[in-house]
Amino acid sequence: MPESRPGTRFPGYDVLSKRQGPSWNDKTREVIARRLSIGSQPGFFTANEFSTVRALASRIVPQPSTPTPIPVAALVDHKLSLSQSDGYRLPGTPRDGDAWRLGLKALDAEADMAFGAPFRELAAADQDLLLDRMQKAELRHPAWGDMRCDEFFRRRLAKDLVLAYYAHPAAWSQIGWGGPASPRGYVRMDYDDRDPWEAAEVKDGNVEAARRKNRHVR
């Protein structure tokens, strides 16, 4: 079990302890193993694009300093390399991969115009300023073409990064989720009831009580 950090809501809980137990079926184990094996080298983005996506991830879903941070940029890259998409898009908007390439190019153009450097090389405060302006539809460099910067922020950049973060088992451990409940499912469905195979949350500041329960979650 991982050591708990101060403020952890589910101390001692590691969703991967369910890997060989009755909570997950073979298909779930296969999907999770494949997700955990995604490498750190991009298959869709160029090296510079990938560095920019990593910089964006650090602003949208900042992570505490840990030995194994969630590889958000790599998860987005993997999805795009497989040409996976939401299955729909607004009329006139580029396909997911095209939208990302166009958005990253336009963001670098905005960064160079405002600060004289690509986005990935800017200080965090300057990156946040550009992202704030993007969200407010205030970026209007010609490099955006027909794509609205706020639509890119909302429908691709922020959405894809957040979904990638919460697709990873490490994030599930942070929020106390048990992963796909197949085949076991859930039994205790009333408000604030907890099945023994669900994570125990700290209540009334009693960290050790939650930790003791989480040692037995499988």
Beta pairing partners, 183? 24
- In this structure, the number of other CB atoms found within 10 A of the CB of residue 201 comes to 17
Query: Do 69 and 165 belong together in one domain?
Result: yes
Q: Which residue has 């930790």 as its token pair?
A: 211
- Cα 5–chain centre separation: 20
> Residue 24 sits in which domain range?
15-36+171-214
Query: Do 185 and 123 belong together in one domain?
Result: no
Query: Do 53 and 78 belong together in one domain?
Result: yes
DSSP per residue, 66-112: -SS---HHHHHHHHHHTT---S---TTPPPHHHHHHHHHHHHHHHHH
Q: Total domain count for the chain?
A: 2
Helix (H, G, I), strand (E, B) or coil at 183: strand
Q: What pLDDT is attached to residue 5? A: 47
Question: Is it the case that residue 122 has pLDDT exceeding 60?
Answer: yes
Q: What pLDDT is attached to residue 85? A: 80
Domain-located, residue 72: yes
Q: What pLDDT is attached to residue 99? A: 96
| Tokens at 212, concatenated | 């003791």
**CA-CA-CA-CA torsion sign (142, 145, 151, 156):** negative
Q: Which of 3-7, 170-174, 197-201 has the lowest mean pLDDT?
A: 3-7
Mean pLDDT estimate for the chain: 91
> Can you tell me the distance from the alpha carbon of 169 to that of 158, in angstroms, rounded to the nearest whole number?
20
Domain-located, residue 206: yes
Query: Do 20 and 54 belong together in one domain?
Result: no
- On whether the CB atoms of residues 115 and 122 are closer than 8 A, the answer is yes
Domain-located, residue 2: no
- Mean pLDDT across the stretch 104-117? 98
Query: Do 113 and 207 belong together in one domain?
Result: no
Q: What backbone torsions phi and psi does residue 24 show, to the nearest 5 degrees? A: -115, 145
- Mean pLDDT across the stretch 39-45? 93
Helix (H, G, I), strand (E, B) or coil at 28: helix
Q: What pLDDT is attached to residue 107? A: 98
Domain-located, residue 28: yes
Query: Do 128 and 208 belong together in one domain?
Result: no
Q: What pLDDT is attached to residue 142? A: 97
Query: Do 64 and 103 belong together in one domain?
Result: yes
- Mean pLDDT across the stretch 52-72? 91
- Mean pLDDT across the stretch 180-203? 86
Query: Do 59 and 147 belong together in one domain?
Result: yes
Helix (H, G, I), strand (E, B) or coil at 35: helix
Q: What pLDDT is attached to residue 1? A: 36
Query: Do 56 and 145 belong together in one domain?
Result: yes
Query: Do 125 and 165 belong together in one domain?
Result: yes
Domain-located, residue 105: yes
- Mean pLDDT across the stretch 63-71? 83
> Can you tell me the distance from the alpha carbon of 212 to that of 51, in angstroms, rounded to the nearest whole number?
41
- Mean pLDDT across the stretch 99-113? 98
Query: Do 196 and 118 belong together in one domain?
Result: no
Query: Do 120 and 200 belong together in one domain?
Result: no
Domain-located, residue 150: yes
Q: What pLDDT is attached to residue 15? A: 94
Residues 209-218: tens digit of each pLDDT: 999 999 988 8
- Mean pLDDT across the stretch 29-47? 94
Q: What pLDDT is attached to residue 218? A: 84
Question: Is it the case that residue 199 has pLDDT exceeding 90?
Answer: yes
Q: How confident is the model at residue 4 (pLDDT cuts 50, 70, 90)?
A: very low
> Can you tell me the distance from the alpha carbon of 15 to that of 173, in angstroms, rounded to the nearest whole number?
5
Beta pairing partners, 24? 182, 183
Question: Is it the case that residue 6 has pLDDT exceeding 80?
Answer: no
Q: What pLDDT is attached to residue 183? A: 81
